[in-house]
């Protein structure tokens, strides 16, 4: 078919770019890599016989998934060599990244979900995302993964079980989340260890990702006392000295902070609220993961 008779590539692709980026980000945990994958998918779409494609969204979702699976083969080796805890690249703005429909995971880009997806096999992750989040049927999932539909159904079921085990039973209301976060940040701003302890759940966890590039806790910290003392140290180093600034914003759709110095991002902090307490604090300090942060 001649180029003139082909449906316009950009006109069909651009309305789906946000969804495809959201799919790739959930697969890879990296905004930069997700955007690269989606751009590669666009180049392939531009060269494809678009007139023969009945469902562009399904076709492009399959293409992005295959590219992500290829990417994960090399990423797995890099993760094995990663220094310290791994966290996904923080996302501050993700307009249009929601999955289609109104399923429970359509808007979920939380750190907790991404860490759960990271613990799945790549095929389980892909089957779950394509079916449960992006609404492709198992025949379409099978085309993407090169597996029978029945096998993909089993992959998605295993993944769904893991995700539900890790998912909090109840999500906090915006009012509860705002109240807990306000108490947490008020204590944090003062370096008030006792005040921080009062906001932290007994099983709270603190995870810092420095990637071996900058100083960060080398392993997760557990319990309110240890976390509060460590956070007070962050205050002394990054909030009180002249030149450091912080502002409140949403990080992976969690209440959080962006700390900058001279306009350069130093770290993000995201806070997960559960049952009226801070259940988890995630901080990314690896400069490679902060390059896209404005």
Amino acid 102: pLDDT:
63
Same domain for 93 and 187: no
What are the angstrom distances between the C-alpha of 253 and each of 85, 109, 131, 223? 21, 7, 23, 24
Residues 274, 241 share a domain: yes
pLDDT at 215: 85
Contact call for residues 205 and 278 (beta carbons, < 8 A): no
Which among 146, 166, 186 is the end of a domain? Answer: 166
How big is the chain by its Cα radius of gyration, in Å? 21
73 and 185 together in one domain? no
Q: Both 211 and 107 in a single domain? A: no
Question: Which residues have a Cβ under 8 Å from the Cβ of 233 and sit 6 or more positions away?
Answer: none
pLDDT 10s digits, 108-166: 999 999 999 999 999 999 999 999 999 999 999 999 999 999 999 999 999 999 999 98
Return d(Cα 119, Cα 277) in angstroms, integer: 25
Q: Mean pLDDT of all residues in the chain?
A: 90
- CA atoms in the 13 A half-sphere facing the CB of 250: 12
Q: What is the pLDDT of residues 1-26, one digit of tens each?
A: 444 446 688 899 999 999 999 999 99
Same domain? 145 vs 36:
yes
Number of domains present in the structure of the chain: 2
Phi/psi at 252 (5° precision): 50, 40
Give yes or no: residues 275 and 152 share one domain. no
Whether the model clears a pTM of 0.85, i.e. scores above it, the answer is yes
**Tens digit of each residue's pLDDT (9 = 90 or more) over 79-96:** 778 899 999 999 997 767
CA distance 50 to 41: 13
Same domain, 189 and 264: yes
Question: Do both 125 and 105 map to the same domain?
Answer: yes
Final residue before a domain boundary, out of 166, 197, 220: 166
User: Are 29 and 105 found together in one domain?
Assistant: yes
Question: What's the mean pLDDT in 26-30?
Answer: 95
Domain boundary among 104, 135, 166: 166
Q: How far is CA 165 from CA 30, 62, 113, 280, in A?
A: 24, 27, 11, 17
Residues 154, 187, single domain; the answer is no
Please tell me whether residues 209 and 120 are part of one structural domain: no
- Examine the domain organization and report whether 144 and 198 are in the same domain: no
CA–CA separation, 127 and 232 (whole Å): 42
The residue range of the domain holding 102 is 3-166
CATH number for the domain spanning 208: value is: 3.10.450.50
Instruction: Answer yes or no: is pLDDT of 235 > 50.
Output: yes
Say what percent of the chain tops pLDDT 70. 94
How far CA 277 is from CA of 179, 189, 272, in Å, comes to 10, 18, 9
What residues contact 93, with CB distance under 8 A and at least 6 apart? none
Q: Which CATH number characterizes residue 151's domain?
A: 1.20.140.160
Bridge-partner residues for 248, per DSSP?
257
């Amino acid at each position: 078919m001649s180029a003139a008779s082909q449906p316009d590539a950009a006109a069909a692709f651009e309305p789906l770019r946000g969804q495809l980026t959201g799919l790739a980000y959930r697969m890879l945990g990296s905004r930069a890599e997700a955007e690269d994958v989606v751009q590669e998918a666009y180049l392939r779409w531009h060269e494809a016989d678009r007139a023969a494609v009945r469902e562009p969204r399904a076709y492009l979702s399959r293409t992005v998934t295959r590219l992500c699976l290829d990417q994960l083969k090399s990423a797995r080796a890099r993760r094995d060599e990663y220094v310290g805890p791994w966290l996904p690249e923080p996302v501050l703005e993700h307009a249009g990244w929601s999955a289609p429909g109104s399923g429970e995971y359509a808007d979920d880009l939380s750190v907790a979900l991404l860490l759960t997806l990271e613990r799945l096999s790549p095929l389980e992750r892909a089957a779950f995302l394509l079916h449960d989040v992006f609404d492709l049927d198992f025949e379409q999932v099978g085309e993407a993964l090169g597996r029978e539909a029945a096998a993909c159904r089993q992959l998605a079921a295993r993944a769904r079980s893991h995700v539900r085990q890790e998912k909090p039973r109840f999500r906090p209301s915006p009012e509860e989340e705002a109240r807990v976060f306000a108490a947490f940040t008020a204590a944090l701003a003062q370096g008030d260890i006792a005040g921080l302890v009062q906001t932290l759940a007994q099983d709270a966890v603190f995870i810092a990702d420095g990637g071996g590039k900058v100083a960060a806790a080398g392993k997760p910290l557990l319990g309110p006392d240890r976390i509060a003392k460590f956070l007070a140290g962050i205050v002394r180093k990054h909030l009180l000295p002249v030149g450091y600034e912080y502002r409140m914003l949403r990080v992976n759709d969690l209440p959080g902070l962006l700390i900058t110095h001279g306009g350069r991002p130093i770290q993000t902090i995201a806070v997960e609220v559960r049952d009226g307490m801070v259940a988890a604090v995630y901080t990314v300090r690896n400069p490679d993961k902060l390059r896209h942060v404005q």
